Chains A and B, each alone.
Chain A
Amino acid sequence: MGVSDSKIWIEKYRPKEFNDLKGQSKIVKRIEAFIKQQNIPHLLFAGPSGVGKTTMALLIANKLFKDNWRSNFLELNASDDRGIDIIRNQVKDFARTKAIGNVPFKIIYLDESDSLTKEAQQALRRTMENFSNSCRFILSCNYSSKIIDPLQSRCSVFRFKPLEKEDIKSIIEIVCKEEGLKISKDAIDSLYDISEGDCRKLENILQSCAVISKNIDNKTIYDIVSQARPNEIKEVLIIALNKDFVKARNKLLDTMLRYGLSGLDIVKQIQKEIWNLDISQTQKVELVDKCGEIEFRMVEGSDEFIQLEALLANFSK
């Protein structure tokens, strides 16, 4: 595997060849066929984060454009600037100029396209048509259902899957060998569980562990992970169950603000945690029902925190 000189592992170990890209072998085969023909259609990559969507796009640009790839490849993050403006300005400006060097077209990679507003997606549809002889689009998204049909029908859709255990294992081995780390067998299992097939998360956690010790065991990993994700929501729920509503509420607000979480993030976490609480099954079902109602009100109404309080009060009844 080629290694870049970045100190950040997710960059250092970003695959440089199609063969190094783990877990998406079927997609790789089809993409390689496109590369051979020196032509690609518009592409839509759908799948969870950290499974190789961006890497695939970078590889395509690299292989098609060789040394000219930087000037002919535009990477945009739709979630950071999700309005129609980025389509009208940045995308159009890039698409309308001629490709540089001996390459047939340019590529625009639009990451997290599912966070583009509907109007922006509509605008994109026209842009794709108008510039299709000079420019190809690669869209990536978590959920293809959030991409409007006209866009989907203009793209070849590829569905990326979370990495399998074998893939995760081989990535861990490569990194450990290169960095001179020792890792125990159960630590590998835990890393697989925690990363949920997300290679970015895997490598970030691994790099954090390596800062602490060159010998990584299960404990190192859980120290890092529990520090990174203290289970404050569960604590809030337990305080609420003990009928100290005010304390629970204040802790909830602090947690929310500290981690910059939205009300919906919190409801999702509460809903997950309910099943782990020490209460009867009837209670659990009632509370999950409340969760659903509150999530609905949050989407429909205003002031997420009052909605969360209303939910929390059900734990203190």
Chain B
Amino acid sequence: MNLLIDKYRPSSLKEIIGHDAQLRELVNYVKNKKPVIIYGKAGNGKTASIYALAKDLSYEIFEFNSSEVRNKENVEKTIGSSLNQRSLFSKSKIILIDEIDNFSGAKDRGGVQALAKLITNSAFPIVMTSNDPYDKKLSDLRKKCQLINFEELKEDDVVRYLENLCKKEKIKFENGVLNELARINKNDLRGCINDLQILISKDNLKLEDIDLLGKREKEDDILNSLKVLFKGKNPEEVLNVFENVNLDLDECFLWIEENLPLEYKGDKLSKALDYLSKAKVFDGRIRRWQYWRFLIYVNALMTLGINSLKNENDAVNYKRSMRPLKIWQANIRNAKKKGVAEKIADKTHTSVKQVLKNFEDYKGFIDNSVSEELELNDEEVDWLKNF
């Protein structure tokens, strides 16, 4: 079976979504044999555009990607020789050097410099792709190239493309599914298409199917880690428990914090929270001094510290922390409150901070005539009534 991603590989620049101005630049540079670096996030069409362009111009592509060793000798040997070789049947060619950020410092020593030397006297157009051309190691190369920025695709564009694809493949879907797909992939079109491949077996795509994709995987990860954290007997394993979890440190903290009281009670709970609190002190010091070695202490306290209190209870059902959700909801509520407070402050020679702090003192007397004087809108008046 043909994979969707291959089946729908664009065969002409017309099929590329977004980047209209950038594509015109690209065509121009390639025709004039100027070396180009296309940069931007993964999956927004960099490599696809180059292949599509080659088809449009009926050029061949000579690709040199990170699967090969790209040190000085190899770059000179592979690229150097192809630079001047006429192509079979004398078709012209584009030399594509993919993912130039992936030149490894140690293994591909001298590769970038060699490349920078070679590209100036090439008989063929050279196009490179990169996620971050401003990396220091690329500076020699960058100076000799034209840069084209492929910006992140717009959600609307991605969704429209996916709708089209689903129509052709006769995939049915619920409202909003494709938007969600675009969102969880951060508008990475390749990611979206690969996800569709997994979901294609469902006859009607639902929102909960999307949940199965990646998020569940993350959750499994953390649940297993928590089991090791609270029950693990091998200190080394415990110490490294968060190493392979696909969550950032703050999220790990939230998971531990939420579930600590389910595992420990009384004195143990207080000791465990004390470790967590100390870990957060080091965390704060890292932020303040940018002294990252403190991370060792953060990790030791939040893993072995907490594990050292373990008991023989059965494992409990670990829960996700509701704190971020609650904070988010409160922020929405507080935005209204702040709006009203700003209006009060404006009329009473007071600071917003001062009004917010004593908001309860004010709300008791905000009747119709007062809200008129404060110029509150209907929405704010309603909100106050229900406060």
| Chain A complexes with chain B | yes
Question: Contact residues of A with B, CB < 8 Å?
Answer: 6-11, 14, 49, 54, 58, 75, 77-80, 111-112, 115, 200-201, 204-205, 207-208, 210-211, 224, 227-229, 243, 245-246, 249, 253-254, 257-260, 294, 297, 300-303, 305-307, 309-310, 313-314, 316-317
Q: Supply 14 A–B pairs (Cβ within 8 Å), ascending by A.
A: A7-B369, A8-B373, A9-B365, A54-B350, A78-B351, A204-B361, A208-B365, A245-B269, A257-B330, A257-B334, A258-B330, A260-B330, A303-B253, A316-B270
Option from A9, A54, A260, A305 in Cβ contact (under 8 Å) with B337:
A260
Closest to B286 in A: A302
Does B354 interact with chain A (Cβ within 8 Å)?
A: yes
Instruction: Indicate whether A310 sits within 8 Å of B358 (C-beta atoms), given known contacts A58-B349, A300-B284, A317-B266.
Output: no
Of B26-34, B134-142, B272-280, which stretch is located at the interface? B272-280
Instruction: Indicate whether A228 sits within 8 Å of B354 (C-beta atoms), given known contacts A246-B261, A260-B334.
Output: no
Q: With A and B bound together, what is the CA distance between A187 and B94 in angstroms?
A: 89
Contact B277 A11 (CB under 8 A): no
Q: With A and B bound together, what is the CA distance between A227 and B362 in angstroms?
A: 12
Does B150 interact with chain A (Cβ within 8 Å)?
A: no
CB distance from A271 to the nearest CB of B (A): 17
Q: With A and B bound together, what is the CA distance between A255 and B373 in angstroms?
A: 30
Option from B257, B353, B367 in Cβ contact (under 8 Å) with A79:
B353
* CB-defined contacts of B365 to chain A, threshold 8 Å: 8-9, 204, 207-208, 210-211
Contact B273 A80 (CB under 8 A): no
Contact B337 A253 (CB under 8 A): no
Does B169 interact with chain A (Cβ within 8 Å)?
A: no
Closest to B362 in A: A204
* CB-defined contacts of A245 to chain B, threshold 8 Å: 261, 265, 269
Contact A112 B351 (CB under 8 A): yes
Contact B349 A8 (CB under 8 A): no
Instruction: Indicate whether A307 sits within 8 Å of B280 (C-beta atoms), given known contacts A49-B354, A229-B360, A316-B266.
Output: yes
Does B309 interact with chain A (Cβ within 8 Å)?
A: no
Main secondary structure of the interface of A (DSSP, over half): helix
Q: With A and B bound together, what is the CA distance between A10 and B344 in angstroms?
A: 11
Contact A253 B323 (CB under 8 A): yes
Q: With A and B bound together, what is the CA distance between A232 and B351 in angstroms?
A: 26
* CB-defined contacts of A211 to chain B, threshold 8 Å: 364-365, 367
Does B386 interact with chain A (Cβ within 8 Å)?
A: no
- A-B pairs with beta carbons under 8 A, tally: 152
Option from B353, B358, B369 in Cβ contact (under 8 Å) with A204:
B358
Option from A8, A79, A253, A301 in Cβ contact (under 8 Å) with B348:
A8
- Chain B interface size band reads 35 or more
Q: With A and B bound together, what is the CA distance between A300 and B253 in angstroms?
A: 18
Q: With A and B bound together, what is the CA distance between A201 and B356 in angstroms?
A: 13
Contact A80 B373 (CB under 8 A): no
* CB-defined contacts of B98 to chain A, threshold 8 Å: none
Contact B373 A316 (CB under 8 A): no
CB distance from B365 to the nearest CB of A (A): 4
* CB-defined contacts of A208 to chain B, threshold 8 Å: 361, 364-365
Contact A297 B277 (CB under 8 A): yes
Contact A111 B257 (CB under 8 A): no
* CB-defined contacts of A227 to chain B, threshold 8 Å: 360, 364
CB distance from B255 to the nearest CB of A (A): 12
Option from A6, A14, A301 in Cβ contact (under 8 Å) with B281:
A301
Does B327 interact with chain A (Cβ within 8 Å)?
A: yes
Contact B348 A10 (CB under 8 A): yes
CB distance from B290 to the nearest CB of A (A): 14
Option from A7, A8, A249, A297 in Cβ contact (under 8 Å) with B278:
A297
CB distance from A262 to the nearest CB of B (A): 10
* CB-defined contacts of A300 to chain B, threshold 8 Å: 281, 284-285
Does B242 interact with chain A (Cβ within 8 Å)?
A: no
Closest to B266 in A: A317
Contact B280 A303 (CB under 8 A): yes
* CB-defined contacts of B188 to chain A, threshold 8 Å: none
> Can you add 6 more A-B contacts, CB < 8 Å, to A257-B334, A317-B266?
A6-B373, A11-B348, A111-B349, A243-B265, A307-B277, A309-B277
Closest to A6 in B: B373
Instruction: Indicate whether A301 sits within 8 Å of B361 (C-beta atoms), given known contacts A58-B349, A317-B266.
Output: no
* CB-defined contacts of B17 to chain A, threshold 8 Å: none
Contact B277 A228 (CB under 8 A): no
* CB-defined contacts of B360 to chain A, threshold 8 Å: 227-229
Q: With A and B bound together, what is the CA distance between A246 and B264 in angstroms?
A: 11
CB distance from A1 to the nearest CB of B (A): 17
Contact A7 B373 (CB under 8 A): yes
Option from B262, B266, B327 in Cβ contact (under 8 Å) with A257:
B327
Option from B277, B330, B364 in Cβ contact (under 8 Å) with A306:
B277
- Give the 9 A-B residue pairs with the shortest CB-CB distance, closest first: A208-B364, A301-B284, A301-B281, A228-B360, A257-B330, A310-B277, A313-B270, A204-B361, A302-B284
